Amino acid sequence: MKNILHFDNMLTPKIITFIYWVLLLVAVIGGFGSMFSSFNGLSFTSIITGIIYIIAGVIGARIWCELLIVLFKMNEALQVLKEK
């Protein structure tokens, strides 16, 4: 508890991991929702659109979360350099 209160350990990377899994779930649900939301039933274009939404959402979530984690990894590396 002391590490968290004195900012020795970062809490945000753990939150980013949770947000990543939520974003994956949203991307998959949104993709399936776009597949089955067509008024004409299940069409080829709605299936392709849904697959594209799923792929783009998963890749976009991964890139966004990785960029945020890189910032925290750089902070850890700087802390190690500072201690030397």
Mean of the per-residue pLDDT values for the chain? Answer: 88
Nearest to 48 by CA among 58, 34, 69, 64: 34
Q: In the chain, what percentage of residues exceed pLDDT 90?
A: 54
Tell me what pLDDT residue 1 has: 66
Q: Is a pLDDT exceeding 90 seen at residue 51?
A: yes
**Residues 53, 34: contact at Cβ < 8 Å?**
yes
Over residues 46-62, the mean pLDDT reads: 95
pTM of the model: 0.77
